[in-house]
């Protein structure tokens, strides 16, 4: 479904990604694990078209999207949950969701989508008129996830969804990722919390300082001695 092939991304002269390749198949949940500053966010931004890769190619559903602007990529069916539950703080909860359905494919379905989302997240329905900035950290993360569903995506990318949340809320977030997986969404999840992420993963990649270090399915990841000590704390 998504094929990333040997991409290099730079910020000015600083190289953030070096020859990264990965694949997400239909309905699969793929995780990218790695320390802070390894380039995981940059990877997602490059796929979405917020950053342009200098080299390499990105294909989605058989079509080339390398270097396409983000609004085209979103229209094709990729959405992103940005890091730290980044929502528009001065917009109401409802408006945050509506922004999610801005692209022309999603717009006609916005109303029904929103009703479904309010069923899934009753808390958001209760606060729909409230400014998103007034929500708690966990609620903001929920809103960010809900908003990513509004664009009628086929692939959802999540950037560190557990960052800075209380353990109980982290569990809720991962429960929800399970639910999305069950509904058939393809998921690309970037996480530092490798323990949690591996439980939902079909396939995993390890990235360190912009380079791909290791890849494998859940079991081989679990058993890799380096990953065990460095990331799983075993």
Partner 1 sequence: MLEQLLMAFINGILLGGVLALLAFGLNLIFGVVKIIHMAYGQFVMLGFYFIYYFYTAWHLPLLVAMAGGIIVMGLLGMLVQLLIINPLLDAPRLNQLLALASLIIVLENLAQVVWGADYRGIPISMPIIQFGDIFIRSSYLLAFLGAIATLGILYLFLHKTYFGLAIRSVAQDVEMARGMGINPKVIYYITLAAGGALTGVVAAFFIPIYTVHPHFGASFTLMAFVIVVFGGMGNLLGGFISAFIIGVVTSITAVLASTEVADILALVMFILMMMVRPQGILGAKA
Does position 69 interact with partner 1 (CB under 8 A)? The reply is yes
Does position 123 interact with partner 1 (CB under 8 A)? The reply is no
Q: Which stretch binds partner 1 (CB under 8 A): 12-20, 66-74, 205-213, 222-230?
A: 66-74
For partner 1, the closer CB: 104 or 225: 104
Contacting partner 1 within 15-54 (CB under 8 A): 48-50
| Among residues 46, 103, 113, 141, the one that binds partner 1 under rule CB under 8 A | 103
Q: Rounded to the nearest whole angstrom, what is the least distance from the CB of residue 198 to partner 1 in the complex? A: 26
**Residue 150: strand pairing partners:** none
* Inter-CA distances, 132 with 15, 87, 128, Å: 34, 7, 9
d(CA 88, CA 62): 33
Does position 90 interact with partner 1 (CB under 8 A)? The reply is yes
| Among residues 23, 27, 61, 91, the one that binds partner 1 under rule CB under 8 A | 91
For tokens 């899934």, the residue is: 120
For partner 1, the closer CB: 130 or 178: 130
* Inter-CA distances, 33 with 55, 128, 160, 208, Å: 22, 34, 10, 9
Give the chain's end-to-end CA distance (angstroms, integer).
Answer: 34
Q: Rounded to the nearest whole angstrom, what is the least distance from the CB of residue 86 to partner 1 in the complex? A: 6
Let me know how long the chain is: 234
Contacting partner 1 within 132-161 (CB under 8 A): 147, 151
For partner 1, the closer CB: 32 or 74: 74
Q: Which stretch binds partner 1 (CB under 8 A): 14-22, 80-88, 167-175, 211-219?
A: 80-88
d(CA 212, CA 171): 28
Q: Rounded to the nearest whole angstrom, what is the least distance from the CB of residue 234 to partner 1 in the complex? A: 35
Are the CB atoms for 4 and 20 separated by under 8 Å? yes
| Among residues 26, 54, 71, 179, the one that binds partner 1 under rule CB under 8 A | 71
**Contact residues for partner 1, defined by CB under 8 A:** 48-50, 69-71, 74-75, 80, 82, 86, 88-91, 95, 98-100, 102-103, 107, 147, 151
């Amino acid at each position: 479904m998504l094929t990333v092939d040997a991409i290099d991304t730079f910020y000015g002269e600083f190289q953030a990604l070096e020859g990264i390749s990965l694949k997400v198949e239909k309905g699969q949940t793929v995780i990218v694990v790695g320390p802070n500053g390894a380039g995981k966010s940059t990877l997602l931004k490059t796929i979405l078209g917020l950053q342009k890769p200098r080299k390499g190619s990105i294909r989605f559903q058989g079509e080339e999207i390398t270097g396409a602007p983000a609004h085209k990529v979103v229209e094709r069916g990729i959405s992103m949950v940005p890091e730290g539950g980044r929502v528009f703080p001065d917009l109401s909860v409802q408006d945050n969701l509506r922004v999610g359905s801005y692209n022309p494919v999603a717009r006609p379905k916005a109303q029904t989508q929103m009703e479904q989302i309010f069923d899934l997240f009753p808390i958001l329905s209760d606060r729909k008129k409230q400014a998103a900035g007034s929500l708690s950290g966990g609620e903001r993360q929920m809103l960010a996830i809900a908003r990513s569903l509004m664009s009628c995506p086929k692939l959802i990318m999540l950037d560190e969804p557990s960052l800075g949340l209380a353990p109980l809320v982290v569990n809720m977030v991962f429960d929800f990722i399970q639910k999305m997986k069950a509904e058939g969404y393809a998921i690309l999840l970037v996480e530092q919390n490798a323990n949690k992420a591996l439980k939902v993963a079909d396939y995993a990649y390890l990235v360190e300082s912009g380079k791909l270090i290791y890849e494998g399915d859940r079991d081989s990841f679990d058993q890799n001695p380096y990953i065990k000590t460095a990331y799983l704390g075993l």
